[in-house]
A and B are shown apart, each in its own frame.
Chain A
Amino acid sequence: MEAVRTNELGLRRDEWLERMKLFGLGSPAILLILVILVIPVGWLFYVSFIGADGTFSLENYERMLKRKSYARIFQTTFEVSFLTTGLCILIGYPLAYFIAGLPNRIANLCLITVLLPFWTSLLVRTYAWLVLLQKRGLVNEWAISLGLWDEPIKIVHNMTGTLIGMVHIMLPFLILPVYGAMKAIDRDLMKAASNLGASPRRAFWTVFFPLTLPGLFAGSLMVFILCLGFFVTPAVLGGGKVIMVSMKIVSNIELFVNWGAASALGVVLLVSTMVILWIASRFLNLEKMTGGGH
């Protein structure tokens, strides 16, 4: 006998309506992404395949392969990104560890301090570094008066200056996820390690550090990817000596009015970022499979 299925249609309709409402909430964002992201990026791809004569051509990509200057630019971009990420880890991880060990109220205050740089614009912060680091800047003057070095040294308009500025700007992006991972670690785990015979150092390396890896990985990835497309800081603090992909894109448009070449660079940057993200996501899944994820 057929079971009685009272109100089945009405209930199913309610569920469908609920889902539609949820979709409705998301639709402005979906529309926005479509208009300002998907269409322009599609156009970017299209333009990158248009040659100087206005027909389909691979010349924009061929140029990248042929000219040595492009190879150098990509090399610089990755070098700056790697170094910035590495320095951020070296500075950020111990700082996050320190903050995670503080009582909650003080820790929150410290986190606000970490985020403080976000309150001023990127450009202001970058120029502030320029003022501090220049030949007659605060850093050189003080170092000389303290006797740290005798002559003003060149710490801006080069790689050093670029890295100082970029690390400063990127640091919060690393600290926050690492701090989050550290706070998520059950305090009893460290006690257990210690109880089982691990010295504080062993307990750190065998239990604490592995459990912060997903956070450290996420933070490093974010910093690295942000670095790849960075423009203002290397442009101002690099003094023309540190040329990254984004700067080449600007010069292609502003100096040479070559939209095709600029688009091709943009596409390469976009694709390499996506490849890195894809590889990283495989790694992150691996983390989860070995139980390291949270």
Chain B
Amino acid sequence: MTSRTNEALPISVKNVTKTYGPVHALNDVSLEVQSGEFLTLLGPSGSGKTTLLMVLAGFTRPDCGSLKFGDREVIRTPPHLRDVGMTFQSYALFPHMTVAGNVGYPLKLRKVPKPEIAARVEAALDTVQLGGFGDRRIDQLSGGQRQRVAVARAIVFEPRILLMDEPLSALDKKLRDQMQIELRHLHEKLGMTTVYVTHDQREALTMSDRIAVVNHGRIMQLATPRDLYERPANRFVADFIGESTFLPVSRQGDTVLFDGTPLLHDSPPPEAASLLLMVRPERVVLSREGPREGVNNFAATATEVVYQGDSFLLHAALADGAQIVLRGAMRGANVTALPAVGDALTLCLAPEDTVLIDGSEA
């Protein structure tokens, strides 16, 4: 399992549509997944991300569209002939087989000789750090171990494409964080094209090469985690990835105004009918010495202060009633005294953190 001779395959989705009655689960979706890439489908429940994954696996038959693994058109290929690995949200381990029985199942179907099955099962279990667990029953395993067995079973036959449907959603937070890194390493080691479905934006940011944000059966934005976070294409993406508050701004020629004051911003605003200023809580700075030079200053009144150990959250109302949320680190002056509710504050936003986005609700 350490070195792979199989090349990863690119996936090409073109114009795939799936309707359930009047509902568009997938609305003319096109997507190119590069060979060896870790791509995440991210979206709220009911967005169509799982439907798209099921189309890739062959469990959902779309109304129309094309799906290629490499050069092979597979849209009409039944699932058992697609040769892709997959992990399920429920793990879908066979309860009547041992760990080794589960992992060896795809090899047995492929008529691999018995001694080779044993060797490859053990190697796959080693890869997911479950060496020596082959004889265990599934109900003797913890959630994290089941997850690993599911991964081992999905990679043991060396598929060139791996699909993962919310594989970590049933694990507790600590284990989830650990598994995210492990799966990421596994992907680097095995190099198979991976399509990963999650509704957890942090998970998507942590693991992916690229993220496709899905909503209402469409791909809202396809970008690297950094671009997605820093330059969301629209309000939905900005809202879904990270926390943010939005302030309405107006355009006057080349300048953008908030509450009558011109805004300093490094990157040009998008060409859109309506603009919004996206404010990330961690980018806002609390100034204790009044307005600063070279940044956007907002006069505000603290409405709520929440102590959270490593940081604090400050909700503040601007003069026009709009709300801004600020997340500050617990150090320096903040440790001695946090602002109190009702305090008049100055909030600063640097020009490089002043991100203007398309305000239309797409």
**Residues of chain A at the chain B interface (Cβ within 8 Å):** 186, 188-189, 191-200, 202-203, 206-207, 210-211, 290-292, 294
Contacts and interface: CB of A to CB of B under 8 A. Distances in A.
A188 B95 contact: no
Contacts of A189: 92, 94
Interface string B46-89: 00000000000111000000000000000000111111111011
Contacts of B86: 192, 195
The SS class assigned to the A binding surface is: helix
Given A188-B90, A202-B109, A291-B138, A195 B84 contact: yes
B105 interface: yes
Given A191-B57, A196-B105, 9 more contacts: A188-B90, A191-B59, A192-B93, A193-B105, A194-B59, A195-B58, A195-B82, A198-B105, A291-B138
B198 to A, nearest CB: 17
A199 B80 contact: yes
B80 A194 contact: yes
Interface string B92-136: 111111100000011001100000000000000000000000000
A226 B79 CA distance: 44
A188 B139 contact: no
B235 interface: no
B24 interface: no
A290 B82 CA distance: 31
A202 B59 CA distance: 17
A211 B83 contact: no
B315 interface: no
B105 A291 contact: no
22 contacts: A188-B88, A189-B92, A189-B94, A191-B92, A192-B92, A192-B93, A193-B94, A194-B59, A195-B79, A195-B82, A195-B84, A195-B85, A196-B105, A196-B109, A196-B153, A197-B81, A197-B109, A198-B105, A207-B94, A290-B96, A290-B137, A291-B97
B80 A291 contact: no
From B84, B88, B98, residue with most partner A Cβ within 10 Å? B88
A202 to B, nearest CB: 7
Contacts, number: 73
A207 B83 CA distance: 19
B96 A291 contact: yes
Nearest to B78: A194
User: Which of A191, A198, A199, A207 has the most B CB atoms < 10 Å from its CB?
Assistant: A191
B157 interface: yes
A192 B109 contact: no
Contact residues of B: prevailing secondary structure: loop
A290 B58 CA distance: 31
Nearest to A292: B96
Contact of A211 (B96, B105, B106, B137): B96
A191 B92 CA distance: 8
Nearest to A203: B80
B57 A210 contact: no
A291 B137 contact: yes
B80 A197 contact: yes
A272 to B, nearest CB: 31
B96 A210 contact: yes
Contacts of B138: 291
Interface of B: 57-59, 78-86, 88-90, 92-98, 105-106, 109-110, 137-139, 153, 157
Nearest to B140: A291
Given A211-B95, A290-B96, A291-B138, A195 B57 contact: yes
Nearest to A190: B92
Contacts of B96: 207, 210-211, 290-292
Nearest to A287: B96
Contacts of A192: 86, 88, 92-94, 153
B79 A194 contact: yes
Interface centre among B57, B81, B85, B86 (most CB of A within 10 A): B86
Nearest to A288: B139
A196 B105 CA distance: 8
A292 B95 contact: yes
B118 to A, nearest CB: 17
A191 B79 contact: yes
Given A196-B157, A291-B138, A186 B110 contact: no
A189 B59 CA distance: 13
A198 B109 contact: yes
Contact of A191 (B84, B88, B95, B98): B88
Nearest to B105: A196
Contacts of B88: 188, 191-192
A189 B92 CA distance: 5
Contact of A186 (B90, B98, B153): B90
A194 to B, nearest CB: 4
B322 to A, nearest CB: 46
Contacts of A186: 90, 92
Contact of B80 (A188, A195, A290, A294): A195
Contact of B139 (A191, A195, A291): A291
A211 B138 CA distance: 14
Nearest to A294: B95
A197 B92 contact: no
Contacts of A290: 96, 137
Contacts of B153: 192, 196
B106 A188 contact: no
A188 B92 CA distance: 6
Given A188-B88, A191-B79, A197 B94 contact: no
Contacts of A203: 80
Contacts of B89: 188
Most buried by B among A196, A199, A294: A196
Nearest to B137: A291
A207 B96 CA distance: 8
A211 B84 CA distance: 25
Given A188-B88, A195-B80, A291 B95 contact: yes
A188 B79 CA distance: 13
